[in-house]
Chain A
Amino acid sequence: MSGARLAAGGRIDRSRPLAFRFETRRLTGYAGDTLASALLAAGVRLFGRSFKYHRPRSVVAAGPEEPNALLTLGVGGRRTPNIPATTTELYEGLVCERQNGWPSVDFDLLTVNSWIGALLSAGFYYKTFMGPRRGSWMFYEPFIRRAAGLGRADHLPDPDRYHTRHAFTDVLVIGAGPAGLSAAVAAGRAGARVLLVEQDFELGGSLLSAPVAGPEEQVRRALLAELESLPRVEVLRRTTALGLYDGRFAALLERHEHASPDPALGAPREVLVGVRARAIVYATGAIEQPLLFGDNDRPGVMLAGAVRAYLHRHALLLGRRAVIATNNDSAWATALDLAAAGAEVTLLDERPAASAGLAERARRGGVEVRHSSRLLRAIGALRGVEWLEGESHSRRRTPCELLGVSGGWSPALHLSSHTGARPAYDAALGCFVPGPFPAGVFGAGSVMGRHAGPWADGHQAGESAARNAGASGSAGDAVRPSWEAWPGGAALSPRNPPRRGGKAFVDFQNDVTTDDLALAHEEGYEAVEHAKRYTTLGMGTDQGKISNLNAARLLAGLRGIEIQDAGTTTYRPPYTPVSIGALAGRSVGRHFRPIRRTPLHDWHLANGAVMTEAGPWLRPWYYRWAGADAGSAYLAEMRQVREQVGLSDVSSLGKIDVQGPDAAEFLDRVYVNGFAKLPIGKARYGVMLNDDATVLDDGTTARFGETRYFMTTTTAHAADVMSWLEFLLQTAWCDLRVQVVSVTDAWAGMSVAGPRARAALELALPEVSLADAALPHMAVREFEIAGVPVRILRLSFSGELAYEVYVPADRGVAMWTRILERAAPLGIRPYGLEALASLRIEKGHVAGLELDQRNTLDDLGLGKLASRTKAYVGRELRERPELTDPERWSLVGLECLEPAARLRGGAILFARDETPAGHGRGYITSVTWSTVRGKPIALGLYRGGLRHAGEEIVCAYPLLGETVRARIVSPMFYDPAGERLHV
């Protein structure tokens, strides 16, 4: 079968040979070849083994609908499985191999699956997974893993670059066939900015399947020349519209692999383009559907349109003896063109007659035509076909090496379904057409089921789209073709295939046969969506582009209902498979998401900090001065703070400047406790609720003036709090004269904590008085030191004497190093987040892990804070019965009772005598080792809370099968009277 390539013709450039490797073979194709056409030209027929039965498979199609010819491309980190050879543009140096054969595709032991097909019938996976003997999956798994699955990815990092791009246009035209080209020209002439995208590397769509010397080619060239001349028209080839979303937003995938892009030069392999268009023209064409007959998956059986495409585009005559079987007029063109190229052609048409004029053309072209005839089965691979002739139903055989089939054309309407419009069945056309389009979206040509007259149809859609986008120029006239329009390709309803004569495949990629669908129906999986999941039909990488319609017809037939009542499946993005790399774009590794760094970040890195992620922030986890690993370092840092003095970076705390004549009233409303009477120069701890009375956030707010407050929030909820304050001021309390501004990034913050904190700060800032009388606990002061504003807040998170020092962000490092250097005689050391968090657990302060938007003020033991005299957000809904139930959980401390054990965050709490099963009585939120207690401690929530103080309970961690005994104690493990704060 080699020598399929004709000596001349086609759209390949014979002056540009391209060398590539197919497994161990070194082959050559030409520029203009797809990988499929180059392999077919080299005589390759076996492209892979099927998914379940390991049947030999070859190329069926010439586009993205290809179910069989899936290859693995590239080596090493570039190895990519399941790439359709039919859409891969050949390039120099391409490396590919076949997949799904064991030990090899040519000699596949698992063909045995064909003989035990009953085992692998519809629902096999369901029955194995869900069957009464659940252990069966364990037994079958190794076998299934080897037998199933298509191709194999590697585990190496992908060396290529992927980009993301945003684009805007007036008119987006999807598809560059006759309708799309006409639409782009019309919209461009009218003056609109046009983006025309085409998945192929050549523009023309179905025109590329026409003879190069024909009149279609002249029109194609004329349109391309005009597009070139229109300054506001941009054309993207090798670009697939993957999805359409609300607001006329389309996701496009631009492929550059053919150019072997060099990642070192920043060249992307693929670019994901998000286009916002004022108007969209769908001109995505239609996809030919196969016929159902016995052994219809044999190599040598192809879609008739693909046979014609390979003939005219790639100069491939894929068989000297050919049979074309059809239920519509379109395949007659293939029969005529094959005969003109020298093949012996028999045409089997299921219909009693074809459209006028075709019979005469076939007679002149030397094509033997048999009407009312249909295929029974394919013989060999491929030696011939058996078919039933006419009304007599006599059984005939015709030898052939190529069988082209056409079951009609189904609109490629997938994108129209992405925005939620269900496809509608058109009984006259025998196919589904797009549902209603949203405003500003237009369809043209075959995708609308309008196979005749794409020129005028596309032109009109392009003009309408341009008008919709505000362009007012003249769109001129549509192309008036000089040749006779080819008759339409509407499908007729196919009859069900005969039961005898081998398997008839509906879904080639997933090996779903007509028998499987019948079985699914018998077992009650009647609806299309159910049968699809039961049989896996349409769930392969081709997403059933040539199987869904036949399946819908079969299922409707089995149920005895009309196809429009059986429904169709919902199409979702992407239209064709997309690499994870393209979706990720540049958001990989350290660019995975934006990182926030404090003004002290570089100092931390240079001075032995090991950093950790806290939400979007990078913060010091611990410093190496304290130990070689976190486990030992944070304990040393805790002791440093408890016994001497430490310095930590708290710049990530949310900071909000609140100003205005009504600032006091505003804070009184948002905090449960009062702020209006807070004296100037004082700070107060406050808690905010959501409207539903769950705790939103806590923090300290200082009053620096009559109308001027400085609010701090937790790091985790800073953004939510800011939006909430703005919401209240802009939508509900518009009469309050208050401005809020986030100043989180404007100030560097650092906490000096420990019994020597005052001494340390006095050494660092001798200019200011920090005596207890001048700056008592919860007092705040503003200073100007050497022209730099400094805010000092005496407040503590750790339970030790502590001060927070704020300076403008760009002065952060200077202040930080000044404190460290000048207080060095006192042994001051930096400490990290792990120690910071552990110190607050010892002190029983709640933080992000407890403030999870599910807990109330009382759950957290903060009920006493709430004012009884003023209104505040969330006050009324605190009274709901469920929230005042004394059996609700509330904050407790836990002490580990087992010397060698540890407590774990998330552990479920049970009473001592309970069997640890189910949701329990609460859970652990925060854990640490307590340096003061010398054992693991935790904060948690427990039903009934501290009424159970002193009781022994069980902490269960089912993930590890662990249970640990613990005792309920006060959450204030350290200095409950707060004596250390008032020194």
Chain B
Amino acid sequence: MLRIPCPHCGERDYTEFRYGGDAGRTRPAHGSQSVRAWHDHVFLFANPKGAHREYWQHVHGCRQWLVLERDTATGSVGRASLARPPGVP
């Protein structure tokens, strides 16, 4: 049972969250017409063994999307921070 330290709600079971994939990648800008860029973004994943930054949404809590540091080899969980950059309304 992964435990995720939500910055709003504290440490909670991962079953309260929804997984959202690799947070280390940059989504092409809205309207970008590069099929290649969208293809790579949607279909190509590094799937690393070890350190990973990934999106989790606290669906049964504050509903915020978080970026969680997790080691995919050991399952050990590090920091979680809000995906929305600070200072944005």
If A246-B1, A730-B65 touch, whether A877 touches B39 (CB-CB below 8 Å) is yes
If A691-B41, A877-B38 touch, whether A871 touches B88 (CB-CB below 8 Å) is no
Interface stretch of the complex, out of A134-142, A629-637, A731-739, A942-950: A731-739
- Asked if residues A871 and B77 are in contact (CB atoms below 8 Å), the reply is no
CB of A256 closer than 8 Å to a CB of B = no
- Asked if residues B88 and A734 are in contact (CB atoms below 8 Å), the reply is yes
Flag B8-27 by CB within 8 Å of A: 1 or 0 each.
00000100001010010001
Restricting to A351-380, which residues have a CB under 8 Å from any CB of B?
none
Restricting to A265-321, which residues have a CB under 8 Å from any CB of B?
274, 276
- Asked if residues A877 and B42 are in contact (CB atoms below 8 Å), the reply is yes
Which chain A residues border B43 with CB–CB below 8 Å? Answer: 692
Which chain B residues border A726 with CB–CB below 8 Å? Answer: 57, 63, 65
CB of A249 closer than 8 Å to a CB of B = yes
Indicate the member of B23, B38, B57, B63 with the most A CB atoms within 10 Å.
B38
Q: Which residue of A lies closest to B74 (CB)?
A: A438
CA distance A876 to B37 in the complex (A): 9
* Chain A interface mostly: mixed
CB of A245 closer than 8 Å to a CB of B = yes
- Asked if residues A876 and B65 are in contact (CB atoms below 8 Å), the reply is no
Q: Which of A245, A439, A880 is in CB contact (< 8 Å) with B35?
A: A880
Q: How far is the CB of A182 from chain B (nearest CB, A)?
A: 28
Q: Which of B20, B34, B82 is in CB contact (< 8 Å) with A727?
A: B20
Q: How far is the CB of B48 from chain A (nearest CB, A)?
A: 17
CB of B51 closer than 8 Å to a CB of A = no
- Asked if residues A876 and B38 are in contact (CB atoms below 8 Å), the reply is yes
- Asked if residues B35 and A879 are in contact (CB atoms below 8 Å), the reply is yes
Indicate the member of A419, A691, A727, A876 with the most B CB atoms within 10 Å.
A876
Q: How far is the CB of A502 from chain B (nearest CB, A)?
A: 48
If A735-B88, A876-B32 touch, whether A730 touches B83 (CB-CB below 8 Å) is yes
CA distance A245 to B75 in the complex (A): 10
Which chain A residues border B42 with CB–CB below 8 Å? Answer: 691-692, 877
If A246-B1, A691-B42, A735-B88 touch, whether A669 touches B55 (CB-CB below 8 Å) is no
CB of A247 closer than 8 Å to a CB of B = yes
CA distance A733 to B84 in the complex (A): 9
If A246-B2, A726-B57, A737-B89 touch, whether A876 touches B33 (CB-CB below 8 Å) is yes
Q: How far is the CB of A342 from chain B (nearest CB, A)?
A: 53
If A723-B59, A732-B30, A734-B85 touch, whether A247 touches B75 (CB-CB below 8 Å) is yes
CA distance A734 to B30 in the complex (A): 12
CA distance A877 to B27 in the complex (A): 14
CA distance A733 to B27 in the complex (A): 10
CA distance A263 to B61 in the complex (A): 34
- Asked if residues B1 and A249 are in contact (CB atoms below 8 Å), the reply is yes
CA distance A853 to B10 in the complex (A): 34
If A691-B41, A730-B65 touch, whether A247 touches B83 (CB-CB below 8 Å) is no
- Asked if residues A731 and B30 are in contact (CB atoms below 8 Å), the reply is no
Which chain B residues border A879 with CB–CB below 8 Å? Answer: 35
Which chain B residues border A438 with CB–CB below 8 Å? Answer: 74-76
Q: How far is the CB of B52 from chain A (nearest CB, A)?
A: 14
- Asked if residues A723 and B1 are in contact (CB atoms below 8 Å), the reply is no
CA distance A245 to B13 in the complex (A): 12
Which chain A residues border B82 with CB–CB below 8 Å? Answer: 730
CA distance A871 to B30 in the complex (A): 7
Restricting to A723-762, which residues have a CB under 8 Å from any CB of B?
723, 726-727, 729-735, 737
- Asked if residues A731 and B1 are in contact (CB atoms below 8 Å), the reply is no
Q: How far is the CB of B31 from chain A (nearest CB, A)?
A: 4
Q: Which residue of A lies closest to B13 (CB)?
A: A276
Flag A689-719 by CB within 8 Å of B: 1 or 0 each.
0011000000000000000000000000001
- Asked if residues A871 and B75 are in contact (CB atoms below 8 Å), the reply is no
* Chain B interface mostly: loop
Q: Which residue of A lies closest to B26 (CB)?
A: A732
Flag A668-702 by CB within 8 Å of B: 1 or 0 each.
01000000000000000000000110000000000
Which chain A residues border B55 with CB–CB below 8 Å? Answer: 727, 731
Which chain A residues border B63 with CB–CB below 8 Å? Answer: 726
Which chain B residues border A274 with CB–CB below 8 Å? Answer: 1
Q: Which residue of B lies closest to A737 (CB)?
A: B89
- Asked if residues A247 and B35 are in contact (CB atoms below 8 Å), the reply is no
Q: Which residue of A lies closest to B57 (CB)?
A: A723
Q: How far is the CB of A8 from chain B (nearest CB, A)?
A: 49
Q: How far is the CB of A51 from chain B (nearest CB, A)?
A: 36
CA distance A737 to B83 in the complex (A): 16
Indicate the member of A245, A246, A734, A737 with the most B CB atoms within 10 Å.
A246
Flag B57-81 by CB within 8 Å of A: 1 or 0 each.
1010001110000000011110000
- Asked if residues A877 and B35 are in contact (CB atoms below 8 Å), the reply is yes
Restricting to B39-53, which residues have a CB under 8 Å from any CB of A?
39, 41-43
Q: How far is the CB of B51 from chain A (nearest CB, A)?
A: 15
CA distance A438 to B76 in the complex (A): 9
Which chain A residues border B88 with CB–CB below 8 Å? Answer: 734-735
- Asked if residues B34 and A876 are in contact (CB atoms below 8 Å), the reply is yes
Q: How far is the CB of A121 from chain B (nearest CB, A)?
A: 42
Which chain B residues border A245 with CB–CB below 8 Å? Answer: 1
- Asked if residues A247 and B84 are in contact (CB atoms below 8 Å), the reply is no
Q: Which residue of A lies closest to B41 (CB)?
A: A691
Q: How far is the CB of B59 from chain A (nearest CB, A)?
A: 6
Q: Which of A247, A276, A723, A729 is in CB contact (< 8 Å) with B77?
A: A247
Which chain B residues border A246 with CB–CB below 8 Å? Answer: 1-2, 75-76
CA distance A879 to B59 in the complex (A): 33
Restricting to A543-557, which residues have a CB under 8 Å from any CB of B?
none
Q: Which residue of A lies closest to B85 (CB)?
A: A734
- Asked if residues B35 and A876 are in contact (CB atoms below 8 Å), the reply is yes
Q: How far is the CB of B28 from chain A (nearest CB, A)?
A: 8
Which chain A residues border B31 with CB–CB below 8 Å? Answer: 871
Q: Which of A691, A730, A735 is in CB contact (< 8 Å) with B64?
A: A730
Q: How far is the CB of B30 from chain A (nearest CB, A)?
A: 6
- Asked if residues A691 and B38 are in contact (CB atoms below 8 Å), the reply is yes
Q: How far is the CB of A745 from chain B (nearest CB, A)?
A: 14
CA distance A877 to B43 in the complex (A): 11
Flag A866-885 by CB within 8 Å of B: 1 or 0 each.
00000100001101100000
- Asked if residues A669 and B65 are in contact (CB atoms below 8 Å), the reply is no
Which chain B residues border A692 with CB–CB below 8 Å? Answer: 42-43
- Asked if residues B1 and A732 are in contact (CB atoms below 8 Å), the reply is no
Restricting to A849-891, which residues have a CB under 8 Å from any CB of B?
871, 876-877, 879-880
Q: How far is the CB of B69 from chain A (nearest CB, A)?
A: 14
Q: How far is the CB of A129 from chain B (nearest CB, A)?
A: 36
Q: How far is the CB of B32 from chain A (nearest CB, A)?
A: 7
Q: Which residue of A lies closest to B87 (CB)?
A: A734
Q: Which of A249, A733, A877, A880 is in CB contact (< 8 Å) with B30?
A: A733
CA distance A727 to B85 in the complex (A): 13
Q: Which of A731, A737, A880 is in CB contact (< 8 Å) with B27?
A: A731
- Asked if residues B3 and A276 are in contact (CB atoms below 8 Å), the reply is yes
CA distance A796 to B75 in the complex (A): 50
- Asked if residues A439 and B76 are in contact (CB atoms below 8 Å), the reply is yes
Q: How far is the CB of B58 from chain A (nearest CB, A)?
A: 10
Q: Which residue of A lies closest to B20 (CB)?
A: A727
CA distance A737 to B88 in the complex (A): 9
CA distance A438 to B55 in the complex (A): 24
Q: Chain B interface (Cβ within 8 Å of chain A)?
A: 1-3, 13, 18, 20, 23, 27, 30-35, 38-39, 41-43, 55, 57, 59, 63-65, 74-77, 82-85, 88-89
* Contacts beyond the supplied A731-B23, A732-B30: 5 A-B pairs with Cβ under 8 Å: A246-B2, A247-B3, A726-B63, A730-B65, A730-B83
Can you pick out 15 interface pairs between chain A and chain B where the beta carbons lie within 8 Å of each other?
A246-B1, A247-B1, A247-B2, A438-B74, A669-B30, A691-B38, A691-B42, A723-B59, A726-B57, A730-B64, A730-B82, A730-B83, A732-B27, A733-B30, A876-B38
Pairs of residues from A and B, 4 with the lowest C-beta to C-beta distance, nearest first: A249-B1, A871-B31, A246-B75, A730-B65
